[in-house]
Amino acid sequence: MISSLMRILAIETSCDETAVALLEINGALEKPDIKILGNSLLSQIQLHEKYGGVYPNLAKREHEKNLPILLEQTLEEAGEDKESPNIDCIAVTAGPGLEPALWVGITVAETLGKKWNKPVIPVNHMAGHMFSVLYGTYEALVMPALALLVSGGHTELVYVKDFGDYEIIGKTRDDAVGEAFDKTARMLGLPYPGGPQISRLAQLSRERKEEDEIKLPRPMIHSKDLDFSFSGLKTAVLYKIKSENRSDSDSEFKEDMARAFEDAAIEVLVEKTRRALEKLDNIKTLIVAGGVAANLHLSQEIKKIVNEFPDISLRMPTKLLTTDNAIMIGIAAFIKIGIGSEILKNQIAIKARGNLSISPVQGL
């Protein structure tokens, strides 16, 4: 499938990152030529850090304050006229995410769409993560694919039969894996977001000794389905912290605990992914994307299983596109236009949908 050259202004405000990008994309859906003409991102991490998580209304206020500034910056970087830029459409995240935060991006996108008389394309944030792997490579993304999407709000295995044809074949029944990283970090007195912190400490433990004596359960690893559960793992961490009765300032204990958690969480993700690859039997590409894809231990372990499947190639996003950003939203919009998504044919007012899930029915 080929789509013609498109200049897309993309906006992302689903969680704690305000982001805007201007892209020029051209060519085949499986191998598009993506040029980033402008890109601005402002993280609210420092504001949310003291609460140990993201506060929706605080996130909304920050998006409202920062989005106009980032829009200006992006257009300026691209050398575009701020009053009437040369774009074909505006892409905006419509869900999933925090609804008050999503509304900020949607309202701005629709206002600009009217002002400039350009269509506004609602994009699923998880489709953004999935197609973030199209950037930075000249290799075609061969279908069918399996996508392991791991972020702060989601943990799911998606059978990607083709562009526009998705089926969720496994998902978490409670916490997302990123959320479990964040909560475990909080229990260990580490700042938000916890993923990079846990990962750093776990590495120190591995450098110090070969074996970690702390053993944690691998929830649902033997279940027949492809679902996950991470809330029990988090409780197990809490129980260990209490029962070991080690002081908060015991840095070696913290490192070992972080490692035990990371080992358990990643082992379950990797094992279920292997099971899905075996079950589907026809997969050509394994996509691993979302914020937790930044985890070094995950990428190392995933590479090991990919070696067991010689016909499967692994695609992970470049660092710039791993955690939330607007570039991936622009790419997902390009795919949506390319497959001629029904939802684009009649421009109706876009709604923020906090629980939007990845499916062709819901319009990607």
Before 68, cis peptide (omega within 30)? no
Among residues 85 and 290, whose Cβ is nearest to ligand KG4? 290
Contact, 283 vs 312, CB < 8 A?
Answer: yes
**Per-position DSSP letters for 53-68, written without gaps between them:** S--HHHHHHHHHHHHH
Please compute, for residue 208, the number of CA atoms within 13 A of its CA located in the half-sphere on the CB side: 15
Q: Least CB distance from residue 347 to ligand KG4, whole Å? A: 27
Contact, 163 vs 141, CB < 8 A?
Answer: no
Report if residue 12 touches Zn ion, rule: CB under 5 A.
no
Report if residue 151 touches Zn ion, rule: CB under 5 A.
yes
Report if residue 196 touches ligand KG4, rule: CB under 6 A.
yes
Residue range at the interface with ligand KG4 (CB under 6 A); choices 87-95, 116-124, 176-184, 307-315: 176-184
- Sheet of strand 145-150, all strands in order from the earlier edge strand to the far edge: 165-171, 155-162, 145-150, 285-289, 313-315
Contact, 286 vs 315, CB < 8 A?
Answer: yes
**Tokens encoding 292:** 């937790």
Report the alpha-carbon distance of residue 100 to residue 57 in Å, rounded: 7
Report if residue 124 touches ligand KG4, rule: CB under 6 A.
no
Report the alpha-carbon distance of residue 115 to residue 93 in Å, rounded: 19
Report if residue 324 touches Zn ion, rule: CB under 5 A.
yes
Q: Which of 199, 205, 273, 285 binds ligand KG4 (CB under 6 A)?
A: 199
Report if residue 164 touches ligand KG4, rule: CB under 6 A.
no
Phi/psi at 117 (5° precision): 55, 50
Kindly calculate the radius of gyration of the chain based on its CA atoms and give it in whole angstroms. 21
Q: Least CB distance from residue 230 to ligand KG4, whole Å? A: 11
Q: Least CB distance from residue 133 to ligand KG4, whole Å? A: 13
The site for ligand KG4, by CB under 6 A, has a size of: 20
Q: Least CB distance from residue 81 to Zn ion, whole Å? A: 31
* Total residues found in the chain within this entry: 364
Q: Least CB distance from residue 76 to ligand KG4, whole Å? A: 26
Among residues 15 and 112, whose Cβ is nearest to ligand KG4? 15
Among residues 3 and 93, whose Cβ is nearest to Zn ion? 93
Q: Which of 85, 105, 290, 363 binds ligand KG4 (CB under 6 A)?
A: 290
Q: Which of 59, 277, 323, 337 binds ligand KG4 (CB under 6 A)?
A: 323
Q: What is the x/- site pattern for Zn ion, positions 85-104, by CB under 5 A? A: --------------------
Q: Which of 62, 212, 255, 324 binds ligand KG4 (CB under 6 A)?
A: 324
Among residues 285 and 295, whose Cβ is nearest to ligand KG4? 295
Helical residues (DSSP H) of the chain, grouped into ranges: 45-49, 56-77, 99-116, 125-131, 177-187, 194-208, 231-244, 251-280, 296-307, 327-338
Q: Which of 175, 182, 227, 263 binds ligand KG4 (CB under 6 A)?
A: 182
Among residues 185 and 286, whose Cβ is nearest to ligand KG4? 185
Report the alpha-carbon distance of residue 152 to residue 169 in Å, rounded: 19
Taking CA 179 as the corner, what is the angle to CA 96 and CA 315, rounded to the nearest 5 degrees? 70
Q: Which does 196 bind (CB under 5 to 8 A by kind): Zn ion, ligand KG4, none?
A: ligand KG4
Does residue 46 sit in helix, strand or coil? helix
Q: Which does 95 bind (CB under 5 to 8 A by kind): ligand KG4, Zn ion, none?
A: none
Q: Least CB distance from residue 260 to Zn ion, whole Å? A: 26
Residues that bind ligand KG4 (CB under 6 A): 15, 151-153, 178-179, 181-182, 193-196, 199, 290-292, 294-295, 323-324
Residues that bind Zn ion (CB under 5 A): 151, 324
